[in-house]
Amino acid sequence: MDNFAVIDIKTGFEMLPYTAIQEAAYEHIYEESLKKNGYELIFDEATHVYKLDGVPIVSVTKVLQNAGLADFTGIPFERLEAARKFGTAVHKACEFRDFGKLDERSLDSNLWPFLDGWGDFVKDYQLTFKEIEKPIASKLYRVAGTPDRIAISDKRRRLAVLLNNEGTYKVTEYKDRTDWQLFLAALSITNWKEKNK
């Protein structure tokens, strides 16, 4: 089995508690996808709906929300929406940079420090990306998601990269193998809720 690193890009001041579980899900789903189990996956970005062989399936994010692991109920909508939009802009800037298609003249100056931090991380870790923002799915577990990056690595790794407005980055590596078991438990809760609406 090929070694790879699952990489999550975060913006802000701290890691979210569920990131380790999310990354474990992406790691196992990606590993399954390497076995070339044929399927057709369609992702509608506007509605955030994944369809596996034409049938809607749950997303990794929805699983974490349904199980109460990703709970933002105490945060005002305006603040959440602003953070979501800014995070999306940072992700897009990093994506364009990694594909070599970044138009620096069109980049909002507020994004530069985050992009600088991302560039330093990629250089310092000497990464080559296998996949960038590519939707993946598990036929076995009927769940899908879009990891930020899958990179070639000397060993299997799960990394979260926290970018900040100072142009630096902080890496957290998740090594707890029970994170996958927690995701499976959350998936069981989600499936139970769906069945017992």
pLDDT tens-digit series, residues 110-146: 999 999 999 999 999 999 999 999 999 999 999 999 9
pLDDT tens-digit series, residues 27-65: 999 999 888 767 899 999 889 999 999 999 999 999 999
Q: pLDDT-based confidence at 194, cuts 50/70/90?
A: confident
Residue type, 96: F
Residue 13: predicted pLDDT: 58
- On average, the pLDDT of the chain sits at 91
pTM over 0.85: yes
Tokens of 141: 């577990």
How many Cα atoms sit within 13 Å of 9 on the Cβ side? 30
Residue 98: predicted pLDDT: 96
Measured at the CA of 58, the angle between CA 65 and CA 185, to 5 degrees, comes to 60
Which residues make Cβ contacts (< 8 Å) with residue 149, sequence separation at least 6? 5, 6, 7, 9, 98, 127, 129, 131, 132, 133
Q: pLDDT-based confidence at 99, cuts 50/70/90?
A: very high
Q: Quote the CA–CA distance of 23 and 158 in Å, as a whole number.
A: 6
Burial of 159: CB neighbours in 10 Å, binned 0-12, 13-18, 19+? buried
Residue 152: predicted pLDDT: 94
Strand partners, 56: 51
